Structure 1
Amino acid sequence: MASTVEVLADAIKESGTPFIVGHPGGETVELMDAASQRDMRYILMKQETAGAILAATWGEITGSPGVCTSTRGPGATNMVNGVAYAWLDRAPLIALTDQYPGATLETGQRQVINHRAIYDPITKWSTTLYAKSAQQQIRRALRTATAPTPGPVHIDVPAGETTAEAPEMKFPPDLRQNTLSTIPVEETLTPALDMIRRAKRPILLAGLGVLWDRASAELVGFAEALGAPVLTTSKCKGVISEDHPLRAGCIIGGLIERDLVSQADLIITVGLDAVELQPKAWPYGTPLLSLANTPTLDALVPATLEILGEINGLLKGLRAGIGGQGEWGEKAAATFRTAVIDALNVPTKGLSPHRAMEVARAALPRDTIATCDAGASRLLVVQKWESYGPREFLTSNGLGTMGYAIPGALAARLAHPGRPVIAFAGDGGFLMAVGDLHTAVKEKLPIIVMVFDDREIALIRIKQELKKIKRFGIELGGLDWVSLAQGFGADGVVVETEGQLTDALQAAVKSGNTTVIAVRIDGSCYVDQFNALREL
């Protein structure tokens, strides 16, 4: 009869995740041993938050839930931000925390924290693992984490339960729910088709549900049948290739996109999750058709009609009944793209962050996967970097956490070992995850880290400037980037010109080593760019 940790390790591997990540505790060692016996990796991170972000990002890319671990007490509280990432960025994750056995938990004080009370508000389910019910709990955890809306599940693992025998449960062998998607017939879609057929200028707003149902190809076909421009959320960059003539750009919650959306006579949201939008009132009175795989309960985006179902099936069913309703799409999309470019092209004395992005896109191969940190530079990366396929651009949008880019890039490297991976980070966000440069080197997961070195926490400086508050408490600088990178076993270079950046990026791709490229940028353009693109 298998032990609890053996059942758990088997389930993780069978679900499609061949590794566990995090920082171990005393009770984790039995799970690590079980994983080792099954030829699984344990990737040691330098901070629990980064471990959870890596695991969650793996879950986003592959659909198989990532698994992260922490010790009890301080390890569990340290991991909270990474689990919050999975919660608000809708990523399938299993977060395991060590815990004292029941008697000690009820009577002791040192390192005693109620983990489930902490994680309950930011998980889809929180449970304590017991050997007698382990197989059912693990099966439920996997199904809960991966079912729309995807998200994290927390499992507290008490000492004493890890090596106890776990009886076989009389359930079907499938760990995750098998589902059969259907295509609705035209008659059932009549109200939606009537809305679409009346529209002359429809626009599509694509969100995370497109990715959950792997509906990128159907979305593009639907847009082409309508002749409609497509705006995506930042998490969905690439669901329509960003060199497609109907691709307009990204929804950023600013004034610049309102001109385009306000011209439409029908808004069609496809898998849009309100967590992807800025927390502002919906600004449009245009009729709105929502295609969703989960009911929209928050009432933030007021739909005239919402159709529930698997996104692929809904798009196929609707596409069969329409064609050529809109002819404005390509022109409207091109006009919007030009407006964004004009708004970003603010003159600077030194190398501008937006120009650095253009150089990076030109220098790197088309199949490069990019991750992006939070901060002032994120707005420019989202607009200037082009992605050509789904899940080729990875960022924290729902939580908007700094420290995302490096662990996110490590997840991308694990999922796509043969493709270049670049992490875009401000100097502040980079320093929050700098320790896992060592993980990249030790685990042989080479990534390129491009740091926007503006020597400050630029987003806060922007807010200070807009509020007419003097600069205070935001200065960075004084870093020896080359020595820092080399200290972790990585390559390091500092660049100040477009030519130097091109050379450094091309060298990094060829080297196969983890490389830190610090780009000395002139951030004086940020305020004008933010004013043009987004309200602060």
Structure 2
Amino acid sequence: MRRVADTVALTLHAHGVRHAFGMPGGEVVTLVDALAAAGVRFLLVRGESAGAMAAAGVGVLTGTPGVLVTTLGPGLANAVNGIADAVQERAPLLVLTGVVDRAIRALYTHQILDQAALLRPLVKGSFEVEPKSAQATVRRAIALATTAPMGPVHLDLAPGVAALADPAPEAAIDPAPTLALPAPARDDPALADLRARLAAAERPLIVAGFEAARAGAAAALVAFAQAAGAPVVTTYKAKGLIDEAHPLALGAAGLSPRADAALLPLARASDLVVCVGYDPIEMRPGWLDPFAAGARVVEIGAAPVDHGMHRVDARILGPIGPLLDVLAAGLPTGARGWGAAIATARAAIADAFAGPADGGFGPHAAFRTLAAALPAEATVSVDSGAHRILLSQMWNAPRPLALVQSAGWCTMGPAIPLAMAARLARPRAPAIAVIGDGGLEMTMGELGTLRDEGLPVTVVVLQDRSLALIALKQVQAGLARAGVGLGATDYAAAARAFGGRGWSVGSEGELRAALEEALAGDGFGVIAVAVGEEGYRGAF
């Protein structure tokens, strides 16, 4: 007998879903059973918010929707932060929740709330799975979650419905047709107009974002930049679109005033700004209206971006890589008016993040050591905090999506879940989670998930015994230090208590040796890196 839950699970599998995350309750046990029967691996996380972030990470790294399974009431409520993260990180996520059976819904009150209403501000749609339309509903949810701008979609499934026999068991389980954007035509008037403006521009600038990275547009972006003679600024999540050693690369922007001091003058000096797959949701307020009044600002992307950060004079919608290829083809190259400004800005940024002159061990030295030790195929996830800003500025990502993080929502806690996702999406490549001590203590239970699921993730925790970013903000505001101090937890011992390996290091040599051991061994490991909070002062 094919149950309705089996139809749901088989439809997910037909669309490429191979993993689901969550913490089951009685209302979803049939669904969890059906997922296993359909070939979808269910991973038991220690918190639903972490499960949502891991599922969303799988969605971003594979292009298939991530799946979170929660029970009703508190299970779903506990996932809200992770679902909100998927909204602002533009991640395709399906949230499958248990709900009390319809026959007693008006009578029963234990753990009951209006789940669709709770999620209404966060999801692109909320539907209830019914016996006769289960496959169609799941297909609709997948299409909605994976259509730009991507995001979470919610499905309620009552346990009684899940266990019912499918009324049409002979119906084939087929994936929905893929939406293909038409190839751009070179003679398209909008493209011809932009090509002419690029040819005439003295100081064109490209600001590239996450959607360009997700679209696989790196090669097209570099060719376009070279043809246009335009320097490239990326967001943190778009790092890797262009090698930051490239003479046109200006590095990443988003949260660092020191980087902005070099980059914003170029933004204001540009006479033509091309925003490629760029969503300002990643940017700090310094990037409000950063372009000159006389500059032409054009957005290129698969879908319009909802923001009010700066004016947009024209939008060109379509597949990002092909659009850039068509724009670059036949674009006359010539001298631009940037002069030495690009090289000067690059030098200023390099100097800003060189680290302390005394050469002592701190976060700068730790990140240089990490970058030197990691193989090119590694994926690095990073948690929110002072360390995220510094790492995102210092590390030259070798390819798009080599560095994953929460850059729109900026929540604490995503590093370990995203590393789980990376290990599942890229099982042959190392996954390293870089996290602060505050973030690790918030999500330490997920070390148990790494152990139980056999995920060999290396966790590098920057242990400065504080919420360093907030402590810096207190200093900048002239306020007394309050509510930011952390005690001296032995993270290496905690890792061993969870069944992993642990190291405590305080120098570049010790960190290098620990990374070598961690990456070569089986199972997960935690490397606690002792750095002083003062290492972040003036760092970004």
Q: Which residue of 2 aligns with 1:186?
A: 187
Please state how far the C-alpha of 1:212 moved relative to its aligned partner: 4.2
Deviations 1:392-445 (A, max 9, x none): 110001110000100000000001111111111010011111111111122111
Secondary structure of 1:471's counterpart equals: coil
CA distance 1:320–1:220, shift in 2 (3 Å): same
- Is the 8 Å Cα contact of residues 297 and 313 (structure 2) preserved in structure 1? yes
Determine if the alignment matches structure 1 residue 294 to structure 2 residue 303: yes
Give me the whole-angstrom Cα distance separating, in 2, the residues matched to 1:422 and 1:478.
23
CA distance 1:331–1:315, shift in 2 (3 Å): same
CA distance 1:457–1:326, shift in 2 (3 Å): farther
Deviations 1:187-237 (A, max 9, x none): 422221121111122111111221343322211221122232211111111
Q: Which residue of 2 aligns with 1:146?
A: 146
- Is the 8 Å Cα contact of residues 227 and 329 (structure 1) preserved in structure 2? no
- Give the counterpart of 2:452 among 442, 452, 462: 442
Determine if the alignment matches structure 1 residue 215 to structure 2 residue 222: no
Q: Which residue of 1 aligns with 2:439?
A: 429
Determine if the alignment matches structure 1 residue 520 to structure 2 residue 521: no
- Is the 8 Å Cα contact of residues 22 and 47 (structure 2) preserved in structure 1? yes
Q: Which residue of 1 aligns with 2:41?
A: 41
Please state how far the C-alpha of 1:476 moved relative to its aligned partner: 0.7
CA distance 1:452–1:326, shift in 2 (3 Å): farther
- Give the counterpart of 2:265 among 235, 255, 259: 259
CA distance 1:296–1:475, shift in 2 (3 Å): closer
5 Å-filtered alignment, 1:83-162, equals 83-162=83-162
Secondary structure of 1:290's counterpart equals: strand
Secondary structure of 1:529's counterpart equals: coil
CA distance 1:244–1:12, shift in 2 (3 Å): farther
Q: Which residue of 1 aligns with 2:331?
A: 322
- Give the counterpart of 1:277 among 254, 273, 283: 283
TM-score (norm 2): 0.93
Please state how far the C-alpha of 1:518 moved relative to its aligned partner: 0.6
Deviations 1:231-276 (A, max 9, x none): 1111111122334333221122543221232333221100111322
Secondary structure of 1:59's counterpart equals: helix
Amino acid at match of 1:298: H
- Is the 8 Å Cα contact of residues 229 and 332 (structure 1) preserved in structure 2? no
Amino acid at match of 1:59: G
Q: Which residue of 2 aligns with 1:482?
A: 492
Q: Which residue of 2 aligns with 1:206?
A: 208
Deviations 1:352-407 (A, max 9, x none): 21221011101221222100100111110101122111111100011100001000
- Give the counterpart of 1:368 among 373, 378, 383: 378
Please state how far the C-alpha of 1:329 moved relative to its aligned partner: 7.7
Please state how far the C-alpha of 1:327 moved relative to its aligned partner: 5.0
Amino acid at match of 1:115: Q
Q: Which residue of 2 aligns with 1:308?
A: 317
Amino acid at match of 1:240: I
Deviations 1:266-323 (A, max 9, x none): 2110011132222462222232122122124434331222212221231122112314
Secondary structure of 2:113's counterpart equals: coil
- Is the 8 Å Cα contact of residues 184 and 313 (structure 1) preserved in structure 2? no
Determine if the alignment matches structure 1 residue 229 to structure 2 residue 236: no
Q: Which residue of 2 aligns with 1:414?
A: 424
Amino acid at match of 1:278: R
Q: Which residue of 2 aligns with 1:381?
A: 391
- Is the 8 Å Cα contact of residues 415 and 434 (structure 2) preserved in structure 1? yes
Secondary structure of 1:249's counterpart equals: strand
TM-score (norm 1): 0.94
- Is the 8 Å Cα contact of residues 3 and 162 (structure 2) preserved in structure 1? yes
Give me the whole-angstrom Cα distance separating, in 2, the residues matched to 1:326 and 1:148.
37
Please state how far the C-alpha of 1:172 moved relative to its aligned partner: 9.9
CA distance 1:395–1:347, shift in 2 (3 Å): same
- Is the 8 Å Cα contact of residues 28 and 159 (structure 2) preserved in structure 1? no
Please state how far the C-alpha of 1:176 moved relative to its aligned partner: 4.6
Give me the whole-angstrom Cα distance separating, in 2, the residues matched to 1:330 and 1:85.
41
Q: Which residue of 1 aligns with 2:12?
A: 12
Segments of 5+ residues of structure 1 without an aligned counterpart are 531-536
Give me the whole-angstrom Cα distance separating, in 2, the residues matched to 1:196 and 1:445.
48
Determine if the alignment matches structure 1 residue 174 to structure 2 residue 175: yes
Q: Which residue of 1 aligns with 2:520?
A: 510
Please state how far the C-alpha of 1:103 moved relative to its aligned partner: 3.3
Give me the whole-angstrom Cα distance separating, in 1, the residues matched to 2:358 and 2:125.
50
- How high is the sequence identity, in percent, across the aligned residues? 37
Deviations 1:73-93 (A, max 9, x none): 111100111111110100000
CA distance 1:262–1:428, shift in 2 (3 Å): same
Q: Which residue of 2 aligns with 1:534?
A: none
Amino acid at match of 1:319: A
Q: Which residue of 2 aligns with 1:57?
A: 57
Cα RMSD (Å) of the superposition? 2.1
**Worse-superposed segment, 328-337 or 509-518:** 328-337
Give me the whole-angstrom Cα distance separating, in 2, the residues matched to 1:326 and 1:318.
18
CA distance 1:85–1:473, shift in 2 (3 Å): same
**Worse-superposed segment, 214-223 or 389-398:** 214-223
Please state how far the C-alpha of 1:135 moved relative to its aligned partner: 1.4
Give me the whole-angstrom Cα distance separating, in 1, the residues matched to 2:426 and 2:361.
31
CA distance 1:326–1:383, shift in 2 (3 Å): farther
Determine if the alignment matches structure 1 residue 245 to structure 2 residue 254: no
- Give the counterpart of 1:403 among 413, 419, 427: 413
- Is the 8 Å Cα contact of residues 231 and 342 (structure 2) preserved in structure 1? yes
- Give the counterpart of 1:470 among 480, 489, 514: 480
- Is the 8 Å Cα contact of residues 216 and 239 (structure 1) preserved in structure 2? yes
**Worse-superposed segment, 317-326 or 487-496:** 317-326
Please state how far the C-alpha of 1:173 moved relative to its aligned partner: 3.6
- Is the 8 Å Cα contact of residues 269 and 291 (structure 2) preserved in structure 1? no
Segments of 5+ residues of structure 2 without an aligned counterpart are none
Secondary structure of 1:96's counterpart equals: strand
- Is the 8 Å Cα contact of residues 14 and 175 (structure 2) preserved in structure 1? no
Give me the whole-angstrom Cα distance separating, in 2, the residues matched to 1:138 and 1:214.
27
**Worse-superposed segment, 213-222 or 191-200:** 213-222
Please state how far the C-alpha of 1:61 moved relative to its aligned partner: 0.6
Give me the whole-angstrom Cα distance separating, in 2, the residues matched to 1:330 and 1:15.
50
